[in-house]
A and B are shown apart, each in its own frame.
Chain A
Amino acid sequence: MADELAFIGDIHGDSVRLSALLGKLGGRRLVFLGDYVDRGPDSREVVEILLEIANRELNAVFLSGNHEIGLLAFLSGRLSFLEYAWMGGLSTIRSYLGKANENVRSELVAAMPRPHYEFLSNCKPFFETAQLVASHAGINPACPESREPTEIVLGRHPSLFHNGLRLSKLVICGHYLQTTRTPFVGNGVLCLNTGCGTIEGPATALLYPEMIFMQA
Chain B
Amino acid sequence: MFTANQVREIVGVIRLPFNALFLYGSQARGDADEASDVDVLQVTPTHTAPYAVGRVNVTCYTFEQLLRLARSGGLFARHLVEEALPLADPQGLLGALKSNYVGHLAYDGVRKEVCGCAPLLDVAESQFAENAEGLSSVVVYLIRTYLYATAFDRGSRSFAMGSVLELLGLCRARITLSDARSQRNFVAFAAARGLFEELTGTACNRIEGSLEAFIVNASVQNELAVILGLRLLARGRPFTYDALLDVEF
A154 at the interface (CB under 8 A from B): yes
Q: Which of A83, A97, A99, A199 meets B244, CB within 8 Å?
A: A83
CB-based contact A104/B213 at 8 Å:
yes
Q: Which of chain A's residues 86-145 have a Cβ closer than 8 Å to chain B? A: 86-87, 90-91, 93-94, 97, 99-104, 107
Residue among B214, B226, B239, B243 having the largest count of chain A Cβ atoms under 10 Å: B243
Q: Assess the A86–B245 pair: CB atoms within 8 A.
A: no
Pairwise interchain contact B245-A150, C-beta atoms closer than 8 A:
yes
Docked complex Cα distance between A19 and B65 (Å): 28
In the complex, B234 has a CB within 8 A of chain A? yes
Question: Which A residues are CB-close (under 8 A) to B208?
Answer: 100-102
Docked-complex contact B210 and A149, CB < 8 angstroms: no
Beta-carbon contacts of B214-241 to A below 8 Å, as 1s and 0s? 1111011000001000100110000111
Q: Does B212 contact A (CB under 8 A)?
A: yes
Q: Which residues of A contact B (CB under 8 A)?
A: 66, 69-70, 73, 78-83, 85-87, 90-91, 93-94, 97, 99-104, 107, 149-150, 154, 179, 199
CB distance from A8 to the nearest CB of B (A): 23
Within 8 Å CB of A66, what residues of B?
Answer: 241, 244
Tell me if B124 is interfacial: C-beta within 8 Å of chain A: no
Closest chain-B Cβ to A138's Cβ sits at a distance in Å of 16
Question: For residue B14, which residues in chain A have a CB less than 8 angstroms away from its CB?
Answer: none
Provide the residues of chain A in CB contact with B212, threshold 8 Å.
Answer: 81, 100, 103-104
B49 contact set on A, CB distance < 8 A: 86
A101 to B212, CA, bound (A): 9
**A82-B230, A101-B213 known; A179 vs B244 contact (CB < 8 Å):** no
Q: Indicate which residue in A86, A93, A149, A150 contacts B239 across the interface (CB closer than 8 Å).
A: A86
Among B215, B241, B243, contact of A90 (Cβ-Cβ < 8 Å): B215
Q: Contacting A82 at CB < 8 Å: which of B64, B217, B234, B249?
A: B234
Instruction: Say whether A79 contacts B243, CB under 8 Å.
Output: yes
B247 contacts A78, C-beta separation under 8 Å: yes
User: How many angstroms from the CA of A200 to the CA of B204 in the assembled complex?
Assistant: 35
Answer whether residue B54 sits at the interface, using C-beta atoms and an 8 A cutoff.
Answer: no
A161 to chain B, nearest CB (A): 13
Q: Measured between C-beta atoms, what is the minimum distance from A83 to chain B in Å? A: 4
Asked whether B239 lies within 8 Å of A90 as measured between CB atoms, the reply is no
